[in-house]
Structure 1
Amino acid sequence: MNRVADFFDTLADRWDELCYHDPEKLNDILKKTGLRKGLRILDIGCGTGVLESYLLPHSPRQIVGVDLSPAMIERARSKYATPVVDFRCQDVWDIQGETFDYIIAYSVFPHFREPEKLISHLAGLLPTGGELVVCHSESRDKINRHHDKHAGKLSEGLPPVEELARMLSPFFTVGAMEDSDRLYMISATRKQTF
């Protein structure tokens, strides 16, 4: 069994009560990105579908939400009755041969053991000009302290945004960045491939 999936399965039924996601911060993050009408969006580690209520007002062509936890996906599916949203109990590594215009990794990046390999994989799912957003609606310090206390064995920690920008640079041009006591986010656009 997958330890990450098992851990989040145990929390799925109370996840929305346990975790507060500040609407002002989420809207602020999305405003700093190239989110616009008609995009095909991949929401990595979508959990119970927290982001979908923020993404749907932007009239996406489709949102694909993936998560390892069957219980989280079941919860997410119960919230949204629209064909625009496709929730999949799937590992992002298993997504092959699909293209997205916009990929968002909200509150999930520290759970990937090989961040540079993940970035390379995600770059392969985006066309030139496609956008990758890595974000948290809390500060890096707060996220890392929380993970050290509650999910240490399941988290690699969130790197300083400058370090993440360096990891992104082979495939992406970095745009907006914030690593403050308020939130953490980086937005990057897929470079042209040759």
Structure 2
Amino acid sequence: MNEGTGDIARYFNERADKWDESGCSGESRVQDAVLSLVDLKPGDTVLDLGCGTGVMIPCYLSAKAGRIVAVDVSEKMIERAREKFGTEPSVELRACDALSLDEAERFDAVIIYNAYPHFPNKPALVEKVYRLLKPKGRFAVAHGIGRDAINRHHEVVAAGVSCGLRAASEESALWEGRFEIESLVDTPGFYAFSGVRR
């Protein structure tokens, strides 16, 4: 595991069993909007980084994604996701650090939903997403609540597990060297930025 991810895995392992009932799973009306940011089409391959218990997986299935790879650093979160989606033939669930993924795999879309503050090494994340996407593939970073609410929530999260979220215009600047940024949303009810691989 990369630096800092052990603490993150432990934090979420401790909470996985009650995650879906705690209201932290992040289900919201914005999930269809997240799919539209990456222009997901039937048959597309999608990589979900920081998938938790799989809150976005029903959306990918409804969109008829051809292959869904859902990754989380927390083994327990992946166990919960397997209980729900382990029999779906198009879904592959992996407990691992996103930065360790094999770059020989390529995807049409990479989505990070309600998880971005838990990736401590943002420059390495940008590079990894770039290398995992097909040419002209799209990524989206999104949250089902606004930045201020996210940051207030994460003030009580254990040190080393989360980092503050900046304005979408500032946060997306990290991605501009590798991606053409296509959308920025920074409202009280929805936070997102997305782009296409250069």
Shorter-chain TM-score category?
over 0.9
Among candidates 17, 20, 39, match of residue 16 of structure 1: 20
- The superposition leaves residues 17-38 of structure 1 with CA deviations (integer Å, 9 ceiling, x where unpaired) of 1125343122233234311111
2:7 aligned partner:
3
Residue 74 of structure 1 corresponds to which residue in structure 2? 79
- CA positional deviation for 1:68: 1.1
- Within the candidate set 82, 85, 94, 2:100 is matched to 94
Report the residue type matching 2:95 in the other structure.
C
List structure 1 segments (4+ residues) > 4 angstroms apart after TM superposition: none
1:115, 1:50 → 2: CA distance? 23
Query: What CA distance in whole angstroms lies between the structure 2 residues aligned with 1:31 and 1:128?
Result: 18
1:148 is aligned, of 155, 160, 178, to: 155
2:38 touches 2:139 (CA, 8 Å); kept in 1? no
Residues 45, 106 of structure 1: 8 Å contact kept: yes
Q: 1:20 to 1:114 in 2, by over 3 A?
A: closer
- Could you tell me the TM-score, scaled by structure 2's length? 0.92
**For the residues of structure 2 that align with 1:122 and 1:21, how far apart are their CA atoms?**
22
> Which amino acid in structure 2 is aligned with residue 62 of structure 1?
R
2:47 pairs with 1:42: yes
Asked if residue 65 in structure 1 is aligned to residue 62 in structure 2, the reply is: no
1:123 matched residue in structure 2 = 130
State the TM-score, normalizing by the size of structure 1: 0.93
- Supply the distance in 2 between the matched residues of 1:91 and 1:32 (Cα, whole angstroms): 24
Higher normalized strand content (fraction of residues): 2
Give me the CA root mean square deviation.
1.4
How far apart, CA to CA, are the structure 1 residues paired with 2:108 and 2:90?
15
Aligned-residue sequence identity (percent) comes to: 35
Contact persistence 1:42–1:100 (CA under 8 A):
yes
Q: C-alpha distance in 2, partners of 1:21/1:93? A: 23
Q: Which moved more, 1:49-58 or 1:148-157?
A: 148-157
* Displacement of 1:112: 1.4
Q: Could you tell me how far apart the structure 1 residues matched to 2:165 and 2:30 are?
A: 18
* Contact 1:33 1:176 survives alignment (8 Å): no
* Secondary structure of 2:120's aligned partner: coil
Q: Which residue of structure 1 aligns with residue 182 of structure 2? A: 175
Measured in 2, the distance between the counterparts of 1:75 and 1:34 equals 28
Name which of structure 1's ranges 155-164 and 129-138 shifts more when overlaid on structure 2: 155-164
CA displacement 1:53-96 (0-9 Å, x = unmatched)? 11111111100001111111010011012110000111111112
In structure 1, how many angstroms separate the alpha carbons of the residues matched to 2:25 and 2:128?
A: 30
Q: Which runs of 5+ in 1 are unaligned?
A: none
Asked if the contact 1:67–1:88 (Cα under 8 Å) also holds between the matched residues in 2, the reply is: yes
